[in-house]
Amino acid sequence: GESVGLHLPTLSVQEGDNSIINCAYSNSASDYFIWYKQESGKGPQFIIDIRSNMDKRQGQRVTVLLNKTVKHLSLQIAATQPGDSAVYFCAENRNRDDKIIFGKGTRLHILP
Amino acid sequence: EPEVTQTPSHQVTQMGQEVILRCVPISNHLYFYWYRQILGQKVEFLVSFYNNEISEKSEIFDDQFSVERPDGSNFTLKIRSTKLEDSAMYFCASRDLTANTEAFFGQGTRLTVV
């Protein structure tokens, strides 16, 4: 069946360092892969997405990498800041008309 | 910046009571969703709604759940007879498919069934 899962439940990173959050997926039919950030008491907030025909996409301080061969997705956050502390979810979308399927979150702690 | 608005932010209800969770999607969006998140767990899909009808629903969305778009702005989730295990955060989301944009989520309603 479909599943999107994360390798690690928590990640602690020193402020200013880069962080990498990983995710594995199993549904080869997915066309979009998405990263969401969820701060305490708030709803998921879109960070960046990548289409299945790409292997890398960059945003502001964030980069998403997609490796279709091993069905792996990662989110790189450069120069982490205290405001990056949150739970990060990877998600998949078979196509834009379809529901978004969330994986388990990774809690990112930024250490001072 | 336009946003999805949900009310109330917190709802406490007795087991067996009906609750209605309200959402105002972004005004030009046509595709709507409800998700729920039990504390500390992942965000689970409940239902999607397009063109005044349910597009897809999950196994969680049983006969106790219903959705409605009673007017041009509100999108509601009704739980007919709440159970303790319905306690969760409920998120509404909307999407403008014509612009091929991502889904925007509201801040959620925390439902506590006692």
- For B47-102, write each residue's pLDDT tens digit: 999 988 999 999 999 999 999 998 878 999 999 999 999 999 999 999 987 666 78
Per-residue pLDDT reduced to its tens digit, A21-75: 999 987 878 888 999 999 988 999 999 999 999 999 999 999 999 999 999 999 9
Quick one: pLDDT at residue A4? 61
Quick one: pLDDT at residue A2? 45
- Check pLDDT > 80 for residue B1: no
Categorize the per-residue pLDDT at A1 as very low, low, confident or very high, splitting at 50, 70 and 90. very low
> Is residue A81 situated within a structural domain?
yes
- Check pLDDT > 70 for residue A92: yes
Of residues B4, B43, B107, nearest to A89 (C-beta): B43
> Is residue A95 situated within a structural domain?
no
Categorize the per-residue pLDDT at A84 as very low, low, confident or very high, splitting at 50, 70 and 90. very high
- Check pLDDT > 60 for residue B35: yes
Instruction: Report the DSSP pairing between strands A86-93 and A72-77.
Output: unpaired
Quick one: pLDDT at residue A31? 86
Residue A43's nearest CA partner among B97, B76, B110, B48 is: B110
Map tokens 């997915």 to a residue: A30
Backbone angles phi, psi at A84, to 5 degrees: -80, -10
Tell me whether residues B43 and A41 touch, CB distance under 8 A: no
Q: Which residues of A touch B35 (CB under 8 A)?
A: 102
In chain A, the number of structural domains is 1
- The CA–CA distances, whole Å, from A27 to A57, A70, A74, B90 equal 20, 11, 16, 26
Tell me whether residues B42 and A105 touch, CB distance under 8 A: yes
> Is residue A80 situated within a structural domain?
yes
Residue B43's nearest CA partner among A10, A100, A29, A97 is: A100
Alpha carbons within 13 A on the beta-carbon side of A29: 8
Of residues A44, A99, A103, nearest to B105 (C-beta): A44
For residue B10, what are the β-bridge partners?
B110
Mutate to test the interface with B, among A6, A64, A96 (most CBs of B within 10 A): A96
Query: Under the phi-then-psi rule, with left for phi > 0, alpha for psi from -120 to 50, and beta for the rest, what region is A94?
Result: alpha
Q: What is the mean pLDDT of residues B5-23?
A: 97
Tell me whether residues B33 and A100 touch, CB distance under 8 A: yes
**Which option is the CATH number for B5-113: 2.60.40.10, 3.40.50.2300, 3.60.130.10, 3.60.15.10?**
2.60.40.10
Q: Chain B: nearest CA to A105, how far in angstroms?
A: 6
- The CA–CA distances, whole Å, from A78 to A22, A40, A45, A64, A70 equal 15, 22, 18, 11, 24
Quick one: pLDDT at residue A96? 66
Give the domain range for residue A77. 4-89
Q: Residue A70 sits in a domain of what CATH number? A: 2.60.40.10
> Is residue A46 situated within a structural domain?
yes
Of residues A41, A42, A104, nearest to B42 (C-beta): A104
Map tokens 């602690």 to a residue: A12
Tell me whether residues A96 and B97 touch, CB distance under 8 A: yes
> Is residue A70 situated within a structural domain?
yes
DSSP B114: -
